[in-house]
Chain A
Amino acid sequence: MAPSVWLPLLVLGLPFVAFVLLAVVAPLRRVGPRAGLVSIGAIALAFGAAVTVWTEGFVSETTWAWIPADGGPIATVGLLVDPLSNAMLVLVTLVSLLVQIYSLAYLGDERPASLGRYYTYQSLFAFSMLGLVLAPGFLQMFVFWELVGLCSYLLIGYWYERPAAARAAVKAFWITKLGDVGFIIGIVLLWSATGTFEFTDLFEKAQEHALAIPGLPTIMFLIYLGAVGKSAQFPLHVWLPDAMEGPTPVSALIHAATMVTAGVFMVTRTEPLFALVPEVLTLIAWVGAFTALLAATMACVETDIKRVLAYSTISQLGYMMAAAGAGAAFAGFLHLLTHGLFKALLFLAAGAVIHAVGTNDIFRMGGLFRAMPQTGIVFVVGTLALAGVPPLAGFYSKEAVLGGVWEAHLTGPFLMLALTVLLTAFYMFRVVFIAFFGRAHAAADPHEAPWLMRGPLWVLAALTVLVGVRMALGGAEGHEETPAWLAPLSVGLALVGFALAWAMYQRRAIDPARIAAALAPIDYLARRRYGLDALYAGLYRGFILGFSRLVGWIDRYLVDGVLNVLTALTLRGGDALRRIQSGRAQDYVYGVAFGLLLLIVGAQLWR
């Protein structure tokens, strides 16, 4: 086997082996930290292999039969190794590795058995995401897609005894599953029309214009629905903020490298197919841009530091999707990679803060920069990157996204995304000023996190800067095409956002309450998450549960009722007929005589 096959296979296999080991060998799992080392060791090796695969620029495709059928297998499994998957492999293994190391300290107080469970899930999560990235066809992608969803469910519900965590985990599964309903129908339809799940076959057909099947827009739209659920696009984004009930490192993983990136990755991977359906692409762009803006407004009024970051993820996912919709999938993917770095950084830094102060509420923090300067610095680095300030990584990828959307003449989405740039800078610096500067709270005595947690933070911060500098020097592809006025505009917007946050929360020159009053309707709606959560809750309780109760009632009391009526009538009938057997000879003689009479009369009439 060539190294371009077995090395990616090794990347995929190592976390799987770790998972099986931890899942099956209970004694190993129950000594928590040691289980962690097994998982970390596996992912570290996988990271090394992934870096090799990436730097060597391996390209290969291998498939094995999975579901046999007469005349060739219906479904295959395999590996599709190309620049796209290679870059993803590095990101996924890197973030997983750092998150797992970080968790060792962050979850150090957990019971050993729980910690073992945590690392079992982590290994499975890494394996699932890597399998998704390497998928050579829709079916394998769906298989790992669902496994990724499962791992999110398990990890969000890691503290399963907390009702909120249990609810959030189930909600995440249901909402993403709703999108997956579309995804699986789309795959089935596509298979029926083309007879294959394989990307390369489909792309070839797309190139030869042999994919002119009726209903292709519908099929691609259905497939896109899967990405709507996973990548938290409006209106299925509601699960992501609630997913904050999981441990913070899990949030970092879900938001940066796994789960939510799956949808964007899928759209990027199957870009040649989406390119055939411009109307769906336009829809994707509009939904993406709208999601970006909507989530940004919600982030502006949120007081929970993790939830702010969650909304910012939704918002940035909107950027990525908008880029894909504008036909600039590469720009979106670039943003996915850079965002993975600084979002992991922000979440892990937020975790360090939460670890230190014991609350998620930014208004109960304050002055943390003095108490935890290292965390403060890396958080600001992440914030600058997210706000799109050069020369950090986020700036260039965001430029590419905005440029792509502009080039595609999608003015509406462009304006929404531009406004979101301002809001992004605003809500991120709002957090920075409130939590890290401002007045310190006397009660809390925050301290810097242990080095196991600080290490990953510095690695991510360094990468955020380095990747940005590298892009500034090298000039990222897709960047050159953007119009010259774009960079000043976006930096200018970000500066306005920064200035606004500074004026409102640092200088306190502007009273936030007055701004809120001026924008009362938006403020009102954003605080209530635009009523979407309530809507889903209502649909769930009223429609699904209500309908199920109705059906349950009908089944028990009508369908089964008819049967019971028949039974009861039979019983009554038997009971009634039983009385004829009175045991008195006279009755029987009467009976015989009466019967005879009937027969004679009947015989006469019949004739």
Chain B
Amino acid sequence: MTRQVLSLVPELSIITWSPFVGALLIMFTARHRPRAVRWIAAVTTGISAALSVWIYAAYDQDTAGFQFYEKVPLVPPLGISYELGADGISLLMVLLTSIIIVAGVFASWTVTVRSQEFYALLLALVTGVYGVFVSLDLFVLFLFYELAVLPMYLLIGIWGSTGEVRPRGIFAWAFRETGVGTKEYAAMKLTLYLLFGSAFILVGILSLYVNAGAASFSFLDFEATAFPRTLQRWVFFAFYVGFGILAGIWPLHTWSPDGHASAPTAVSMLHAGVLMKLGAYGVVRVGMGLLPEGAADLAWLVGTVACINIVYGALSSMAQTDLKYVIAYSSVSHMGIVMLGAATLTGAGLNGSVFQMFAHGVMTGLFFALVGLVYEKTHSREIGKMGGFGRTMPGIATAFTIGGLSSLGLPATAGFVAELLTFLGAWRSAHRWWLFPAVAGTFLTAVYVLRVAKQIFWGPPSSHFHDLQDARGPEWVALVVLVFVLVLFGMVPGLAIAPVDTATIPLLARIVSP
């Protein structure tokens, strides 16, 4: 491993902390000034976004490896340091985060209740997300990880919305006692579930730390250590479960539909769009990156569960009558593609996996922005009541259709390239049959997406709603940006694949020939 060159300008730190500074500014200077709150949020996330586009373009693909390197020792005796760096995979994830948060800030423009706290928490959360993607010190990475997860509890618990779930079946009594369907339930479930996962991650990190000689938490040092195979196997399993919960792996996914459905628009966007990627990123970066043999031994499990995710998520999505749940379950299905691509342990599959993280992030961000808009105009999430909205909200209908097409893997949208690469990888993997559930998933996606689009936007106008309007003003920003990105990366996939490829090749080389 080549020595890392320190970056002259701390680009990654600025990207990471700019939203946090924004959060502080909002809390201390912009109290009760809603306009200022929004502008601070827009500007601070805008800085991050501009810089992430800049580093994305400035990344030297020939040198590859971790660039924009920063290192400041924090606790030298324990080997903890503030160490940042980005390679092709992290760059794409940083870019995704920037796109989603900028869109999310504009999508929340109309939040009226306690908007300064809302924005402050949202921005603090984003700092956590950025931090995870660029941290090279696993201890710091874990801190950022928690920072990204915890504000969710408040964001959903306070600004969320409550749905209705009827207690049924043999466990109906438990549903009554736990209050399934309420936003408080969803917030608690999500937080507890993710913290449960964190416990696995922490155990995994500490065991690596101890086994590597307890001298450093640095990813680069761990990478240079060859861990014994048995250790690799169970630590990989711990990472898989811990990070995998956040990535929505079956059967530990049930926090996600409830959480996403109850969360306010921007939080759903961020959570499904970016936070679920934290989980997948963790599995790929920390799990596969540090434990190549463990990953190779457990790939069968990861891929098989991913196939269940794809089909099961799509079928569950089809069964939903609440628009937000449809989108939430579609995330469960699409994250299956991400995990499947990674599990194939092939170049095409892994590129597809990372590309799908990006594609799904943008797509689901778009979906939740749209669902938020529809909800705001109709105050309903019941698909059955809706109909014929295409006439009154053509812009929203168009954006929804494009998102849906990306979701079902239509060419010229980002979703297609991601799925194609995953398919190619699946057939070249050790478990060829993975291809079939994956392709079946795209067909099922076509069924439920078009069915929902037809029900909401097509057909005669519904009699339940009157005076509906299309998106207006700042609401357009999120839609236009996200649709543009989705189509751009679908038409020119090289934009993303080229840098990602520089990161996946060395990663795979370690797994295939350890």
Contact residues of A with B, CB < 8 Å? 65-70, 74-75, 113, 139, 142-144, 146-147, 150, 153, 157, 160-161, 163, 166-167, 169-170, 173-174, 177-178, 181, 184-185, 188-189, 191-192, 544-545, 547-549, 551-553, 555-565, 567-569, 571-572
Contact = CB atoms under 8 A, between A and B. Distances in A.
Contacts of A552: 315-316, 318-320
B447 interface: yes
Contact of A184 (B189, B319, B394, B423): B423
B169 A561 contact: yes
B412 A143 contact: yes
A192 B175 CA distance: 48
Contact of A69 (B318, B351, B428): B351
12 contacts: A150-B405, A169-B458, A185-B436, A188-B427, A192-B427, A548-B319, A549-B319, A551-B316, A557-B171, A559-B254, A561-B171, A568-B173
Interface in B391-427: 391, 394, 405, 408, 410-412, 416-417, 420-421, 423-424, 426-427
Contact of A177 (B318, B391, B446): B446
Nearest to B401: A154
Given A184-B423, A561-B175, A544 B459 contact: no
A564 B171 contact: yes
* Interface bin, chain B: 35 or more
Interface string B432-450: 0001100110111011101
B178 A551 contact: no
B457 interface: yes
Given A69-B351, A177-B443, A160 B412 contact: no
Contacts of A70: 347, 501, 505
B451 interface: yes
A191 B424 contact: yes
A185 B173 contact: no
Nearest to A74: B348
CB-CB nearest 8 A-B residue pairs: A552-B319, A557-B169, A561-B171, A143-B411, A548-B318, A568-B174, A166-B458, A551-B315
Contact of A67 (B171, B175, B446, B497): B497
Interface string B247-267: 000010010000000000000
A549 B461 CA distance: 27
B494 A67 contact: yes
B494 A551 contact: no
A181 B443 contact: yes
A302 to B, nearest CB: 26
Contact of B315 (A67, A68, A548, A561): A548
Contacts of A572: 177
Given A69-B501, A552-B318, A552-B319, A157 B458 contact: yes
A403 B43 CA distance: 73
B388 interface: yes
Nearest to B412: A147
A544 B421 contact: no
Contact of B501 (A68, A75, A555): A68
B450 A188 contact: no
A160 B457 contact: yes
Contacts of B428: 192
Nearest to B251: A559
Contacts of B417: 67
Contacts of A191: 424
Given A173-B450, A552-B318, A559-B254, A65 B443 contact: no
Contacts of B454: 166-167, 169-170
B121 to A, nearest CB: 25
Given A547-B315, A557-B168, A163 B174 contact: no
B390 interface: yes
